[in-house]
Structure 1
Amino acid sequence: MEVGKLPAALLARLLAQNQVTDPRVLVGPAPGEDAAAIAMGDRVLVAKTDPITFATAEIGWYAVNVNANDVATMGAVPRWFLATVLLPEGAPESQAEEIFRQIRDACGELGITLVGGHTEITYGLPRPVVVGCLLGEAEPDGLLSSAGARPGDALLLTKGIAVEGTAILAREASEALQAAGVPASLCQRAAEFLHHPGISVVREAAVARACGGVHAMHDPTEGGLATGLRELATAAGAGLRLDAEALPVLPETRALCTALSLDPLGLIASGALLVAADPARADDLLAAFAAAGIPAARIGELTAPEEGLWLERAGERLPLPNFPRDELARFFAPG
């Protein structure tokens, strides 16, 4: 297998073998679901784990934010964070100190408490790895899951694509980008995408929850927006239509992807929130995002499952692109 997520068919087969027997499990493991949800009296506990394996710069910041995003898409408030920090042999103490500073800063910005984890120096690692686990809580009637989306829903996207992938490329592949003719000033601007516009979608998820009319939210991570859309449609048992001309591709993303021959649709896209909503409430949601200073666009709709997954561009109807691995992983793969 290649670097990246497990093949979707293999993951589905593995998860199908799992038996969830505890009736308190409201959302269990399934393709397209961002986190688990467990009934805990008058609250729902939402639990998520995600590693940071591509980025090295500000890895602690990434770990908190990507886990918080998945908790927030479930309609929950991120509360408690645990981190497993694995460092390579010979790592200086300053590296551990810097990673923990990043974790503290990210937790502080989001009102999250670091409550535990694990640290070790690990044999055979070429770079640090941080595995985050984040717990949040939701009201029982406010819990969302990808399976809650339905045919006819409007698809909205905040900010644009691909915030995280653009930041990682600018930080980890600056030499290749400048060799391809990308100006250093553009690379610097793209590197700041980690913080501006930022990879967190916690605030826009809260805006969407408060507005109402939301059936599901999803965080398009590895495999980019195309994979996130596919995951959402799969979980909902729906088809979809994506309007390529309405899709906000950030100019910096387009420039970096063009220079490196990458497709923005398949580039890791944390920082954008994908929302499936009642079409009658789509304009209200767009207005709520605008009032909060969050750019957003209506990019398509969910359809009946038999209609399939389609991308429409300039009057032409094409199958939604499939990315077995993220464009970032393809770029960094040896050889």
Structure 2
Amino acid sequence: MKAGKVSEQILKRTILKQLNSKNSNVVLSSAVGEDCSRLRSDNKDIIFSVNPITIPLEVEDMGKHGIYRAFNNISAKGATPVAALVSLLMPTSSNEQDARTIIKGLDAAASKLGVQVIGGHTECCRGVNVPIITITGVGLAERDIDMKTSNVEPGMDIIATNWVGMEGTLVLLNQKREELLQHFTNPFLDKISVFEQYLSINEEAKIACNNNAATIHDISEGGIFAALWELAEGSKVGLEIDSRKIPIKQETIEVCEFFDINPYKIASMGSALIAAKDGNTIVHEIEKAGGHATIIGKATDNNDRVLLIGEEKRFLETPQTDELRKVLTY
């Protein structure tokens, strides 16, 4: 099997097809495009999301990225972030300071979201050669907030928040800075460091939920092209997306050109897709709060997932391996 997120075909035939156990308290479970599960309690629903961090990161960033990855999914379901469980596997070559740095960064990010780390497991083992952190995020949602990927209907606006490719650009900066300095100036690269401020979608998700969004889908591994496919596949709708309206920073475009990779197919934590009947209101409210959002297209009543590039028309492909893996080994 190839390194990276498994293909949709493998997910369906090898993973999801084997999951036949049922429990009456489960109201949302594993499916293509669904990043969380949902349990019903007496008054509210409990939302879970499990996320490993396998992208190469400095120890200072691993915990923070892990928390944001897990709780972006939780926020996308209209839930309030509550608690986290953490599994940390450390190579025997690591030291105690590495573990302390990872956990300190994790807890700082959790505190910003009002999340408490309530448990987990830490182990040094010979089976890994870099730290591997897996975070289970837990949130609480009102029962009348039902943000399923399958909620998208033909005619709905499709919104993208912030700028795609930020996470992948940050990773390339951190792992390949010396190589990038052969082509770019330090002030140019310093602009990329600011992307760290935009890795959480929590505020945008709150605004979308309060303004009648049908669903929210966090954009992560595989980039916006993968996320668009997952959104359409989850609702069995088509899409017509104007690629020129997809928000992306010039720094991301130029760094991806340098490494000859597609900026729309790299990790994009910090961006989200929102489907809504009235996208203009959501965009207005997000921008009024100091955020950034753009309507990039609409859902359609056929099965075509179309990308418009000026007068040219292309079709989305099933999600491929994140293009960061063409540059980095992980």
TM range (shorter): over 0.9
Question: Corresponding residue for 2:5?
Answer: 5
Corresponding residue to 1:329 among 304, 325, 328 = 325
1:295 Cα offset (Å): 0.9
The alignment status of 1:238 with 2:237, answered yes or no, reads yes
1:20 Cα offset (Å): 4.4
Corresponding residue to 2:307 among 306, 311, 316 = 311
Does the 8 A contact of 1:47 with 1:133 survive in 2? yes
RMSD: 1.4
Alpha-carbon separation, structure 2, partners of 1:333 and 1:247: 28
1:330 Cα offset (Å): 2.2
Does the 8 A contact of 1:165 with 1:328 survive in 2? yes
Does the 8 A contact of 1:36 with 1:46 survive in 2? yes
1:138 Cα offset (Å): 0.1
1:34-183 to 2 correspondences below 5 Å: 34-57=35-58, 58-179=61-182, 181-183=183-185
Alpha-carbon separation, structure 2, partners of 1:5 and 1:23: 30
Letter of the 1:274 counterpart: L
Does the 8 A contact of 1:168 with 1:191 survive in 2? no
Letter of the 1:200 counterpart: S
Alpha-carbon separation, structure 1, partners of 2:188 and 2:92: 35
Question: Corresponding residue for 2:208?
Answer: 208
Question: Corresponding residue for 1:191?
Answer: 193
Letter of the 2:311 counterpart: G
1:176 Cα offset (Å): 2.7
Does the 8 A contact of 1:76 with 1:143 survive in 2? no
Question: Corresponding residue for 2:31?
Answer: 30
Residues 99-133 of structure 1, C-alpha deviation per residue, up to 9 Å, x if partnerless?
A: 11101100110100010000011213221111000
Does the 8 A contact of 2:225 with 2:316 survive in 1? yes
Question: Corresponding residue for 1:294?
Answer: 291
Residues 116-160 of structure 1, C-alpha deviation per residue, up to 9 Å, x if partnerless?
A: 000011213221111000100100001211111122111001111
Residues 9-68 of structure 1, C-alpha deviation per residue, up to 9 Å, x if partnerless?
A: 110122033224212211110010010011111100000000111132210001111100
Relative to structure 1, the CA distance from residue 16 to residue 311 in structure 2 (aligned partners, 3 Å threshold; closer, same or farther) is same
Relative to structure 1, the CA distance from residue 22 to residue 305 in structure 2 (aligned partners, 3 Å threshold; closer, same or farther) is farther
Stretches of structure 1 lacking an aligned partner (at least 5 in a row): none
Alpha-carbon separation, structure 2, partners of 1:298 and 1:271: 17
1:322 Cα offset (Å): 4.5
Residues 193-246 of structure 1, C-alpha deviation per residue, up to 9 Å, x if partnerless?
A: 12x2x210011101111122x111001111100000000100111111110111
Alpha-carbon separation, structure 1, partners of 2:188 and 2:133: 28
Residues 246-270 of structure 1, C-alpha deviation per residue, up to 9 Å, x if partnerless?
A: 1111111111111111111101111
Does the 8 A contact of 1:207 with 1:288 survive in 2? yes
What TM-score do you get using the length of structure 2 for normalisation?
Answer: 0.96
Alpha-carbon separation, structure 2, partners of 1:191 and 1:139: 36
Question: Corresponding residue for 2:316?
Answer: 320
Letter of the 1:187 counterpart: L
Does the 8 A contact of 1:48 with 1:71 survive in 2? yes
**Partner secondary structure for residue 273 of structure 1:** strand
Question: Corresponding residue for 1:247?
Answer: 246
Letter of the 1:90 counterpart: S
Letter of the 2:154 counterpart: P
Alpha-carbon separation, structure 2, partners of 1:204 and 1:117: 29
Does the 8 A contact of 1:8 with 1:31 survive in 2? yes
Does the 8 A contact of 1:177 with 1:260 survive in 2? no
Moved more, 308-317 or 11-20: 11-20
Letter of the 1:85 counterpart: L
Does the 8 A contact of 1:48 with 1:70 survive in 2? yes
Q: Between the two proteins, what is the percent identity of the paired residues?
A: 27
Does the 8 A contact of 1:162 with 1:264 survive in 2? yes
Moved more, 6-15 or 182-191: 182-191
Letter of the 1:52 counterpart: I
**Partner secondary structure for residue 324 of structure 1:** coil
Give 4+ residue runs of structure 1 displaced > 3 Å after superposition. Answer: none
Stretches of structure 2 lacking an aligned partner (at least 5 in a row): none
